[in-house]
Amino acid sequence: MLTYEQYQQRLVDAVPRLPAEEVAVTDPVALLGRVIATPVRSAVPLPGFTNSAMDGYAVRAADIAAASERSPVTLPVAGDIPAGDTRSLRLEPGTAWRIMTGAPVPDGADTVVQVELTDAGTEQVAIRAALPEGAAVRHAGEDVVAGDEVLPAGTLLHPRHVPVLASAGVQRISAIRRPRIAIVSTGDELVPIGGEAGHGQVVDSNGPMLAALVHEGGFELAATRRVGDTGDEVRAVLTELAADADLIVTTGGVSAGAFEPLKLAFEDSDDDFDFVKVSMQPGKPQGFGMLGDTPVFALPGNPVSSLVSFLIFVAPAARTMAGRSPALPTGTARVGERWQSPPGRTQFARVVYDDEGRVVRPVGEQGSHVLGGLAGSQALAIVPGDTTEVAVGETVAVIPLAGLA
Ligand code: AMP
Ligand code: MG
């Protein structure tokens, strides 16, 4: 049997890297979660012009050098410079302009006196403090010089990158596309979400769950389909989806039963498709193959197995395709209540946090079909294969599951 790390590495190595494409910067929200392929250089200096950091008065520091609380210096006010004023103005020595935050500092001024240090006059202003030259002035180019690299290649676009991207004076950037993932639920027993499950039937919960994981993982949903338990139908649907999707995820039909459609479709074919057993719980039976250049991940059908398999195998591979690091963020926590783990297999145990995330304890029932326990869990604890008894006080690695308010 393969360890989950070996199998994960095999998948990460097997998937193609998606190409970069030129995209307009005008919808930066649509770029979130995409990796920049070519460094972004600013076409303009930032700030673009020398401007005021305060509401106050633009002056020459030399003209207010003698000002103090006891003997303010009074200067005539030439007028107002609001933010957005596009005039090119000059300051005559011995005068002041009233100026607002972000407004262009007039030529000849070297200092801004904040309004709180003055009498706020409009015809003339009494200034009660001397200031060093340059106070409250933001100089053109002090943040970014034209030509500076502002976002290196490899940047995963996040909201914090948006201001500099929007301000850099560039129209287009080169970014890697988010993988478009198609999801196929297999099983004659499945009825669609919103439908009523009769005797012997179950609602397809994996399809919607995987769609949600695709969304949460920063990928795009290409399609969701349900197919019955025949190899021919599975092959036909996967072939059709492979024409458009970057990656396909299937659930169900990979274990040892009599009607396992993924196995029927691929096991004895010439395709490059492997079914393996991974020493993990849940998620032991796994399948992977390439349909042309589209990777297909065949996950087991139990909902918990599907979720774990997505996080441990699909997400790292899809992140790699997107130019991101494969590893999901993990943490550690101390065990607050003992539980058992199967010998020889890595256990991904559903746990809840105590003590503000420092301590974990197991959710009651660990069966891979238990939907309530899955919903109630807050993280997956990773228990190594050589551990059979997870003891109180031990430290375990955890993969946090989002959704804590
Ligand atoms: P399989 O891997 O196809 O043998 O399915 C294992 C178990 O998971 C069975 O109890 C199935 O009914 C259940 N199952 C498979 N696919 C889904 C699905 N899409 N939604 C909910 N349960 C499923
Ligand atoms: Mg099935």
Q: Are 390 and 294 found together in one domain? A: no
* Residue 163 resides in a domain: yes
**Is 134 in the same domain as 239?**
no
Pocket test for ligand 1, best of 206, 230, 310, 371 (most atoms within 8 A of CB): 206
Distance CA 302, CA 255 (A): 11
Asked if residue 253 is part of any domain, the answer here is: yes
Mean of the pLDDT values across residues 115-138?
98
The pTM (predicted TM-score) of the whole model is: 0.92
Q: Which atom of ligand 1 approaches the CA of 207 most closely?
A: 19
Query: Are 85 and 195 in the same domain?
Result: no
Is 58 in the same domain as 41? no
Q: Is residue 25 part of a domain?
A: yes
> CB-based burial of residue 86 (10 Å sphere; 0-12 exposed, 13-18 middle, 19+ buried)?
exposed
230 in the same domain as 215: yes
pLDDT of residue 247: 98
Looking at this protein, which amino acid is placed at residue 143?
Answer: D
What pLDDT is stored for residue 321 in this prediction? 98
Residue 365's pLDDT band, with cuts at 50, 70 and 90, is confident
Instruction: Give pLDDT, residue 356.
Output: 85
- For residues 68 and 146, state if they share a domain: no
Residues with Cβ within 6 A of ligand 1? 185, 187, 189-190, 202, 204-207, 251-253, 255, 257, 300-303
Q: Is residue 326 part of a domain?
A: no
Q: Around 8, how many Cα atoms within 13 Å sit in the side-chain half-sphere?
A: 21
CB under 8 Å to 131, separation ≥6 — which residues? 61, 64, 111, 113, 117
pLDDT in tens, 35-67: 999 999 999 999 999 999 999 999 999 999 999
DSSP letter for each residue of 266-286: HTTSSSSEEEEEBSEES--EE
Instruction: Choose one of 321, 350, 374: the last residue of a domain.
Output: 321
CB 128 within 8 A of CB 118: yes
Say if residue 285 is in the same domain as residue 385: no
Instruction: List the structure tokens of 325.
Output: 């690091």
Could you tell me if 366 and 270 lie in one domain?
A: no
Model confidence at 357, in pLDDT bands (50, 70, 90)?
confident
CATH number at residue 369: 2.40.340.10
| pLDDT tens per residue across span 140-182 | 999 999 999 999 999 999 999 999 999 999 999 999 999 999 9
Last residue of a domain, one of 176, 199, 226: 176
| Matching residue, tokens 């250049």 | 293
Task: Say which CATH number the domain at 158 has.
Answer: 3.90.105.10
Distances (CA, A) of 143 to 140, 164, 180, 189: 8, 10, 37, 61
Query: pLDDT-derived band of residue 257, with 50, 70 and 90 as boundaries?
Result: confident
pLDDT grade for 369, boundaries at 50, 70 and 90:
confident
Has residue 160 been placed in a domain? yes
Domain that holds residue 68: 52-138
Is residue 392 pLDDT above 80, yes or no? Answer: yes
Counting the structural domains of the chain, the total is: 4
| 34 Cα to the center of ligand 1, angstroms | 33
- The reply to whether 274 and 349 lie within a common domain is no
Q: What is the mean pLDDT of residues 284-295?
A: 96
